[in-house]
Amino acid sequence: MLTPRGDDFPRWYQDVVAKAELADNGPVRGTMVIRPYAYAIWERMQAELDRRIKATGAENAYFPLFIPESYLRREAEHVEGFSPELAVVTHGGGKELEEPVVVRPTSETVINSYFAKWVQSYRDLPLLINQWANVVRWELRPRLFLRTTEFLWQEGHTAHATEAEAAAFAERILGEVYEDFMVEVLAIPVLTGRKTARERFAGASNTLTCEAMMGDGKALQMGTSHELGQNFARAFDITFSDETGSQEHVWQTSWGVSTRMVGGLIMCHGDDAGLRLPPALAPTQVVVVLVRAEDGAGEAAATLRDELVAAGVRTSLDDRLGTSFGRRSVEWELKGVPLRVEVGPRELADGVVTLVERHRGTKTAVALAEVVDRVGSSLIEGQRHLLAEATRLREERTVEVATLEEALDAASSGFARLPWAVVGEEGERRLAERGLTVRCLVRADGAGIAATEEDLVAVVARAY
Amino acid sequence: MLTPRGDDFPRWYQDVVAKAELADNGPVRGTMVIRPYAYAIWERMQAELDRRIKATGAENAYFPLFIPESYLRREAEHVEGFSPELAVVTHGGGKELEEPVVVRPTSETVINSYFAKWVQSYRDLPLLINQWANVVRWELRPRLFLRTTEFLWQEGHTAHATEAEAAAFAERILGEVYEDFMVEVLAIPVLTGRKTARERFAGASNTLTCEAMMGDGKALQMGTSHELGQNFARAFDITFSDETGSQEHVWQTSWGVSTRMVGGLIMCHGDDAGLRLPPALAPTQVVVVLVRAEDGAGEAAATLRDELVAAGVRTSLDDRLGTSFGRRSVEWELKGVPLRVEVGPRELADGVVTLVERHRGTKTAVALAEVVDRVGSSLIEGQRHLLAEATRLREERTVEVATLEEALDAASSGFARLPWAVVGEEGERRLAERGLTVRCLVRADGAGIAATEEDLVAVVARAY
């Protein structure tokens, strides 16, 4: 039904997106329709992220979609980075506009124009704002979820009194919000590190990143957290009077993750039968599948659903007896629901139901009285299993190399690690010619993000 | 501090929006920055609505912001209604586009183009989709929350096998979702009825509405639910094979509420001291205000906050001792937090704290051990009080009249009710000349929405 991953990974991805009813192409090139099942996945991502973001003290707000063109031009690197991707509104309300407005590709410029009004004194700092919004970056080679002209995301924007505080906050977001969410909820083992100057966000002084390995060995950037230094503070004149009364520019961060993570989820855990959702994320953790309704099976299935819901498990009941059991099984496999509990009259006569674990592909007869407990432990085990499997794949496909030539070779099917001192800017250009990039710089000892240039190891890969 | 409502109601509204830090004007005319406090209110609205929407069986999804101009033109009334308000993107990715795209003013056209693909058989019906999104309608006379060029909303879109089913669903949304939310959560007593042909949504065969009276006697349309008949089904060719195998067009509905409700909330319950939030909605239901920290008051306040949180009350602690108590009190009044519990060393010595009820303006000494219980009952009473007060105001300002002349007079400061047969289309034109509209048609006996023309009573008012 699906193209096997080994035959053609990109085709397999397209097949999963279409057949699991995740998304459709929009009518305007590069745009996307997020169908209900994928949107439910996105809502679960939002809920888990939003809780972590608010725990840092950040508050949600909403800024306008339309930004005057002149705002973009205020920060030189920023406008250079985003100009080629802008969508421009030239007519509104039946008239040509005096100044064209751009559809936000990101909101640093508009948000910082308000930070300049809101920040007066050190008492107003830190100012920690997040927004959930759509953004538009015109995309020439679109791919559903991974690269779309319009995408959904959250973007955080903060202002601090000192450089050290801003740096610490950018790291906190990367670790406590993004990495924690990706590892604990998505079961995706991400590398955290910083970007080279070449790969930095347009306008940032430092970009931190979470990088994941997909099922084909390629890298996906899952989220970034930037130190903006005082670049935007100067461009938008965001100043505060410190405790001595002197006027200072603020130090800033911005950070975001997007619907691209849905693509990462598919490509990290999916197999030849479709999606595999980590239980902590899955909108439906368990589907109780009624095989046939005879001999009280219908009532037993409904009761089981109620018991699981009462136990706090996100459960649905599939009693579509008009559709064949085989077809329904294929559908739940495709959609990657972690557990199926199959309830049929024959097994019920023996006091058992069948528990199917999507992450292992195992089927086990479980006594009816033990199902709720067993589901609980199986969900926990499934979560661990997916994380362990993805970690193992990444380790198998990561090679330590010593030279750029070796990296060019090794990174064609996985991650190559080598001293950053061996790569350098000239090395990055050579990698780029072969379609490779330094995904992130990590510490050789693996302990945290900050590091001197000499300590750094470059992780090189082909990337989405 | 605020302009008194009696002096200048619109000015009072502007003052509340600015001083309670609810919203700012955006840089592009008519757009809006929703500041954290108002956004927290919106998030509470979203959570309460989303739960009710999902309880109807509808699922959330997301459709593109950009719609090809040609899509809008497919439904004649729809394009005529929306053309003057469109924002048009003519350039994307550095090039002029072959076909300009419009920024969605509403999503009937793009969503229905997908319904045409997804609906094949009667088994695919009903198809119940909702989306939370931003939309753009170029606004010449903007007013924060009430009329903004960009606003946030939810828009539901459904397809059904029969006209009766679609009609029942449109009514269900109006009653079980919108009216229930507005009355029970917002404490706003809304009239439900249907719009006259003149006031209908562009493309609908019937528009149902929730209408509220604001503090100045004017009406605000709070939400609408439309029967679309087969208008869009024909324009986008959405057909299904029924149980006999014959191809039929679906019957549809669409329905939406927006950030405009935040404006309604302000104008319905606000008083000369600022906002008054109904407890069921308030992001912060209780603020524990530390008066001074001496003699264990700081610890007592923190403990009280913890106890209230543990009791499920949305509570925050104000221990900003660097800001004067008077100034903090004014701020919480302005922000309309339902209850304040003031904790100071002098009262604590007597074993009491002061409970301030925003809805009544009363201050009561409450024994420390009784605070949690008392807060619980006071929140319930506060919710009832606001609803009762708004209902009484509406009744006082609603007049039964017999002629159009009387209506022209009475509706200048409230609602005028008169037989629809006395008004008619010619009457509507005369009302419009005086800035009045028929807000909705209701049954004379007050029982439900459906009615014959003869039964109907027109509610006439000046509206926002």
What residue type is assigned to position A229 of the chain?
G
Nearest to B88 among A66, A68, A89 (CB): A89
Nearest to A64 among B32, B65, B113 (CB): B32
Per-residue pLDDT, B450? 66
Q: What is the mean pLDDT of each run of 10 residues along chain B (464 residues)?
A: 96 98 97 98 98 98 97 88 93 94 96 98 97 96 97 98 98 98 98 95 95 98 98 97 97 98 98 98 98 94 98 98 96 98 96 97 96 98 98 97 95 94 95 96 78 85 97
Residues in chain B closer than 8 A to A100 (CB atoms): 91
Residues in chain B closer than 8 A to A152 (CB atoms): 62
Its CATH architecture, for the domain B286-385, is: 3-Layer(aba) Sandwich (3.40)
Average pLDDT over residues A123-139: 97
Q: Is residue B461 a contact partner of residue B416, using CB atoms and an 8 Å limit? A: yes
Given CATH 3.40.50.800, say whether it is the number of domain A286-378.
yes
CA separation, residue B336 to residues B44, B284, B333, B340, B390 (Å): 15, 9, 5, 10, 16
Degrees, nearest 5: CA angle B210-B213-B215 = 150
Chain B interface, mutation test: which of A25, A50, A83, A88, most B Cβ atoms within 10 Å?
Answer: A88
Residue that has been written with the tokens 């077809």 in this structure: A327
What CATH fold (topology level) applies to the domain A397-461? Translation Initiation Factor IF3 (3.30.110)
Average pLDDT over residues A95-119: 96
* Torsion region of A277: left, alpha or beta (phi above 0 gives left; psi -120 to 50 gives alpha): beta
Q: Which helix (H) or strand (E) holds B194?
A: strand B191-194
Per-residue pLDDT, B194? 94
Determine the Cα–Cα distance for residues A411 and A398; give it in Å rounded to an integer: 8
**CA dihedral sign, ordered B64, B67, B73, B77:** positive
- B416 touching A (Cβ < 8 Å): no
Determine the Cα–Cα distance for residues A384 and A378; give it in Å rounded to an integer: 10
Per-residue pLDDT, B370? 97
Note whether B65 contacts A138, CB cutoff 8 Å. no
Q: Is residue A42 a contact partner of residue A259, using CB atoms and an 8 Å limit? A: yes
Q: Chain A neighbours among B 1-30 (CB < 8 Å)?
A: 24, 26-28
Predicted ipTM > 0.95: yes
Q: Which of A18-27, A401-410, A442-451, B188-197 has the lowest mean pLDDT?
A: A442-451
Chain B interface, mutation test: which of A89, A151, A316, most B Cβ atoms within 10 Å?
Answer: A89
The residue in chain B having the minimum alpha-carbon distance to the alpha carbon of residue A320 is: B123
Nearest to B103 among A86, A89, A140 (CB): A89
The residue in chain B having the minimum alpha-carbon distance to the alpha carbon of residue A138 is: B93
Average pLDDT over residues A69-90: 91
pLDDT digits (tens, 9 = 90+) for A336-395: 999 999 999 999 999 999 999 999 999 999 999 999 999 999 999 999 999 999 999 999
Per-residue pLDDT, A450? 66
Note whether B62 contacts A34, CB cutoff 8 Å. yes
A99 exposure class (CB count in 10 Å sphere: 0-12, 13-18, 19+): exposed
Q: Chain B neighbours among A 319-348 (CB < 8 Å)?
A: 322
Chain A interface, mutation test: which of B21, B65, B102, most A Cβ atoms within 10 Å?
Answer: B65
What residue type is assigned to position A212 of the chain?
A
Going from N- to C-terminal start, the domains of chain A cover 9-269, 286-378, 397-461
Residues in chain B closer than 8 A to A71 (CB atoms): 27
Per-residue pLDDT, A1? 85
Residue A455 pLDDT exceeds 90: no
The residue in chain B having the minimum alpha-carbon distance to the alpha carbon of residue A85 is: B93
Q: Which of B171, B257, B177 is nearest to B221 (CA)?
A: B257
- CA A239 to chain B, closest CA, distance in angstroms equals 20
Q: Which of A107, A103, A114 is nearest to A75 (CA)?
A: A107
Q: Which helix (H) or strand (E) holds A372?
A: helix A371-396
- Whether B9-269 shares its CATH topology with B286-385 is answered no
Q: Which helix (H) or strand (E) holds B101?
A: strand B95-103
Tell me the HSE value of B362 on the side-chain side, using a 13 A CA sphere.
9
What CATH fold (topology level) applies to the domain B9-269? BirA Bifunctional Protein; domain 2 (3.30.930)
Nearest to A60 among B36, B90, B92 (CB): B36
Note whether B28 contacts A67, CB cutoff 8 Å. yes
* Residue positions counted in chain B: 464
Residues 6+ apart with CB under 8 A from A279: A285, A338, A339, A379, A380, A382, A383
Determine the Cα–Cα distance for residues A337 and A162; give it in Å rounded to an integer: 46
Q: Which of B22, B388, B356, B337 is nearest to B187 (CA)?
A: B388
Neighbouring CB atoms inside 10 A of B452's CB total: 7
- A60 touching B (Cβ < 8 Å): yes
Can you count the helices (H) and strands (E) in chain A?
15, 23
Note whether B27 contacts A152, CB cutoff 8 Å. no
- CA B260 to chain A, closest CA, distance in angstroms equals 14
Residues 6+ apart with CB under 8 A from A350: A365
Q: Which of A177, A186, A187 is nearest to A224 (CA)?
A: A177
Average pLDDT over residues A36-45: 98
What residue type is assigned to position A407 of the chain?
A
Average pLDDT over residues A259-279: 98
| Predicted TM-score of the model (pTM) | 0.97
Determine the Cα–Cα distance for residues A343 and A320; give it in Å rounded to an integer: 13
Can you count the helices (H) and strands (E) in chain B?
15, 23
* Residue positions counted in chain A: 464
Q: Which two tokens stand for residue A110?
A: 């508009």
Q: What are phi and psi of B227, to 5 degrees?
A: -90, 125
pLDDT digits (tens, 9 = 90+) for A143-187: 999 999 999 999 999 999 999 999 999 999 999 999 999 999 999
